[in-house]
A and B are shown apart, each in its own frame.
Chain A
């Protein structure tokens, strides 16, 4: 393949009369995210047109409530995927966190100790996987698969059945309602998810760490030669994903006021799917947290539509997500090929 030779020598002659490219290829990197946004809007307005009450603000607000865990996990996954990696352990980390939280609370630990402890544990597990990936040059797929088994194993070891949480603080957080407007209420979990998204987006766009994440995904060898802290960043990214998963687990335990070792099975795949639908390139180097958020919204909106329809099998969610994944992967291919 002639890759480089064939590149049209854009802007070779530096002249201001060269805005053509900027017009018909507005910004290649935004195409996937714009496609997702368009899809989301189409889905939303189709729902509004077809179902009564679909247009109420609570439908949108509830999307955040119902998918808070997935949003938080997808944020961590976004960082990992942008570096060109993958984290399969997140679902298991969620189950480990919920089980541990419930067990410790049941044992009478103060909630303000349990909360940082489980978040730290998730982060440490992520850090461990990151270290293995970096220092032993292990494929992220394998390292985090090991993490998956480990975390799920720990969860099942602690307790195989569902453990109720009776702690006051947890109960209070679960029941606390935030009134956004008349008749529109939300919960702490959704607010947390939104805050996580905002912080993560700022970190990716405006910090050296965030830019290093992109650089590593673009070309790790180059990043190293440019003097960037590749190892540190990689480990940090898995740590962050572990933290997000643990936080997701905490949100889960708040939502359900229980812990269960079989919680969050397959959630890692939902998170990956959300990222991909949101335009995060699986090969790394490209993507946005807001894209992943949109991906989760697409996911949630499909479920909402199915609920509103009433007579559809829930399996349709997966079928549609499957089709969308195909569509977006092909779109990514087309877009990246055009950019070359």
Chain B
């Protein structure tokens, strides 16, 4: 059959950081016209490999050949010029500029030094039309959704250089239809002969879109496989290097405790609670020891609902009862006083303070609830922190490590620990598993189940239906900023059932 010769070949790549071997003799190759998934847990070396490829890092060993020629990138500009473009998870464009400018800035068509705006807009429109995107290119980028922004970023990357396109977690902020749109574009580029390197934590997406995949673990190459030849379970095993039995446990457990919660006392009851423009009035009761899952697409009002219950936003209609008493939550502090904790979805921007240590991050909420005039004694701090580092298996188990040096999954655990030490009775977790690897995901899910066993109520917000189904006793389905259905999580309820609810009665 004869495979086409690879457009990119990396052999024996070695990269050492102080104290850590990030990449240890890794081989990687990309064929033209393929979508190649790079798989591995957080910390496996995926990001490092990409940064080596894009010239952000120098290599300590090995060599890279692009189109048959050996290359040595000294910065993102060189690699871009050589034909390697990257689109990152956070869209790296300027949202204050127009779509056309974002595609062409730095390469604008000019005549006598003067930018030819008309020509630029025309070319931008043509380029986007090839990606089936017919939008107004003279509007500023911030008027478009994140998905569109991402596609504009891809259009720019492809136009700059069309040989190798790296997509680093492009789908993590997109909803299902947007992902489909992105995949259409990826397939089109693939047909044009572009080699695409795709990184995603969503296994289903990897299986849907990729032709081959390369698995890394702990900075080492585990292997390169044809996606079709490698069952998902085996892939996961290769990624984490151990068999994944934890998830199986969970299934029975949630069945087991369902009966128990039915007659437990309600902790929180919302009646007609709502906020104009954020979420329509809804009724919701959460019992002790109950895991309530919030399902719905991005922008369906999941986070908005959670924020109301935490007092982060003020409700403008309806009432809220906590322990049978009417309350108005004016601020998150008020909610915390009543035993409600909220772990935010944006761990980077709203939760984790990267420059502080693990210990300081964990202690933060407890200290805040005590008031800053009564510092927690250092010995007590160490005690608490050690306990939770052990309980949540935060790695590395070093309380003085700066949090920004931890992987995403471990940062999430730190954030959870922060709220857990305040011993809340209702824990609201928004997207705790987004952007973290399979192993850490399982651990966090397990933890949620255990907390609920221990009598804590959990409001679990997640974009992944499988996860919601696995953990929740009861599932609230949101659509278009409205709570449309409450489902007891019984035998008959599965992802399809929820999808139907999300989809049915849609405005079209």
Contacts and interface: CB of A to CB of B under 8 A. Distances in A.
B136 A11 contact: yes
Contacts, number: 112
Contact of B101 (A211, A217, A219): A211
B232 interface: no
Contacts of A217: 96
Interface in A1-32: 1-2, 4-12, 14-15, 21-22, 25, 28-29
A226 B143 contact: no
B114 interface: yes
Contacts of B132: 14
Interface stretch (B6-14, B285-293, B296-304, B402-410): B296-304
A14 B134 contact: yes
B496 interface: no
B7 to A, nearest CB: 21
Q: Which 3 A-B pairs have the closest CB atoms?
A: A218-B94, A218-B96, A285-B96
A97 interface: no
B92 A225 contact: yes
Nearest to A225: B92
19 contacts: A4-B146, A7-B299, A8-B145, A11-B143, A11-B144, A12-B177, A15-B134, A22-B139, A207-B114, A207-B115, A211-B115, A217-B96, A222-B94, A226-B92, A226-B106, A226-B156, A286-B96, A339-B140, A339-B143
Interface in A210-267: 211-212, 214-215, 217-219, 221-223, 225-228
B304 A6 contact: yes
Contact of A21 (B134, B143, B146): B143
Contact of A10 (B92, B144, B177, B299): B144
B47 interface: no
B94 A206 contact: no
Contact of A227 (B88, B106, B108, B139): B106
Interface string B129-154: 00011111001101111111000000
B77 to A, nearest CB: 5
Interface in B47-97: 76-77, 80, 88, 91-97
A225 B117 CA distance: 23
Interface size class, chain B? 35 or more
A167 to B, nearest CB: 36
A285 B92 CA distance: 15
A177 interface: no
A7 B346 CA distance: 16
Given A4-B146, A218-B95, A340-B142, A9 B108 contact: no
Nearest to A208: B108
B70 to A, nearest CB: 23
Given A14-B135, A28-B143, A227-B77, 5 more contacts: A12-B177, A29-B140, A211-B115, A219-B92, A219-B96
Contacts of A28: 140, 143
A9 B145 contact: yes
Interface in A180-215: 205-208, 211-212, 214-215
Contact of B94 (A5, A25, A205, A214): A214
Contacts of A219: 92-96
A60 to B, nearest CB: 30
Given A2-B303, A10-B143, A211-B101, A228 B92 contact: no
Contacts of B76: 225, 227
Interface of B: 76-77, 80, 88, 91-97, 101, 105-106, 108, 110, 113-115, 117, 132-136, 139-140, 142-148, 156, 173, 177-178, 278, 298-299, 303-304, 307, 345-346, 350
B106 A228 contact: yes
A201 to B, nearest CB: 13
Nearest to A286: B96
B418 to A, nearest CB: 19
Interface in A160-189: none
B110 A11 contact: no
Interface in A296-340: 339-340
B77 A10 contact: no
- Identify the interface centre among A4, A25, A207, A221: most chain B CB within 10 Å of its CB: A4
A260 to B, nearest CB: 39
B324 to A, nearest CB: 30
A211 B108 contact: yes
Contacts of A212: 105-106
A339 B140 CA distance: 9
B139 to A, nearest CB: 8
Q: Which of B91, B92, B345 has the most CB of A within 10 A?
A: B92
A110 to B, nearest CB: 33
Contacts of B95: 218-219
A225 B157 CA distance: 11
A281 to B, nearest CB: 8
A11 B142 CA distance: 12
A11 B156 CA distance: 19
A214 B117 CA distance: 15
A7 B146 contact: yes
A199 to B, nearest CB: 13
Contacts of B173: 4
Contacts of A286: 96
Nearest to B135: A11
A339 B142 CA distance: 7
A8 B480 CA distance: 11
Contacts of B304: 2, 6
A305 B428 CA distance: 59
B96 A5 contact: no
Contacts of B88: 225
- In this complex, which of A2, A205, A217, A222 has the most chain B Cβ atoms within 10 angstroms of its Cβ? A2
Contacts of A227: 76-77, 80, 106
A211 to B, nearest CB: 6
B136 A22 contact: yes
A214 B136 contact: no
Contact of B93 (A15, A21, A208, A226): A226
